[in-house]
């Protein structure tokens, strides 16, 4: 068994990352430095529409973190982060950060877990 930290990513966004369509995760904050270039677990959470319990679906790595300077620059990257103007994660008055994501290993089948409501989780054994 190995120990990893993990990050919650809501379905269906998680599926876009797993398919390789979404290569930049967007957040309103900078990734904590200790998670940059560290292998972590991607915990897929059901969000409001998923019909499953949280599960670990991949080992990922965030390889770069940068702040978008403005709305125009943010939407120029839409094909990379899959966020459009009608998305719940669209540009707002809050700063937007991009985290380049790389898939290290997809886990099949996913590993069931009971993790809710925390963005980052420490010390998960798989």
pLDDT digits (tens, 9 = 90+) for 92-102: 999 999 999 99
Tens of pLDDT along 74-113? Answer: 999 999 999 999 999 999 999 999 999 999 999 999 999 8
Tens of pLDDT along 8-23? Answer: 999 999 999 999 999 9
pLDDT score of 115 more than 80: no
pLDDT score of 33 more than 70: yes
- Dihedral of alpha carbons 28, 31, 37, 41, sign: negative
The predicted model scores a pTM of: 0.90
Q: Residue 17: which CATH number?
A: 2.30.130.30
- Distance of alpha carbon 28 from alpha carbon 91, whole angstroms: 9
Q: What are phi and psi of 23, to 5 degrees?
A: -115, 0
Closest among 12, 11, 16, 28 to 101, alpha carbons compared? 16
Q: Are strands 3-10 and 39-45 parallel, antiparallel or unpaired?
A: parallel
- What does the pLDDT average to over 31-52? 92
- Distance of alpha carbon 7 from alpha carbon 110, whole angstroms: 15
User: What is the total count of domains within the chain?
Assistant: 1
| H runs (alpha helix) in 1-126 | 13-19, 71-76, 78-81
**Which residue segment(s) compose the domain that 63 sits in?**
3-125
Q: Which residues pair with 72 in a beta bridge?
A: none
């Amino acid at each position: 068994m190995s120990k990893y930290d993990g990050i919650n990513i809501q379905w269906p966004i998680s599926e876009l990352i797993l398919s390789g369509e979404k290569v930049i995760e967007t957040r309103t904050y900078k990734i904590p430095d200790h998670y940059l270039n560290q292998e972590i677990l991607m915990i897929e959470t059901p969000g409001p529409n998923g019909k499953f319990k949280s599960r670990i679906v991949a080992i990922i790595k965030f390889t770069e973190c940068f702040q978008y300077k403005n709305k125009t620059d943010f939407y120029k990257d839409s094909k990379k982060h899959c966020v459009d103007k009608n998305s719940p994660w669209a540009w707002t008055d809050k700063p937007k950060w991009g985290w380049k994501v790389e898939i290290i290993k997809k886990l099949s089948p996913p590993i069931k877990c009971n993790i809710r409501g925390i963005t980052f989780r420490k010390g998960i054994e798989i």
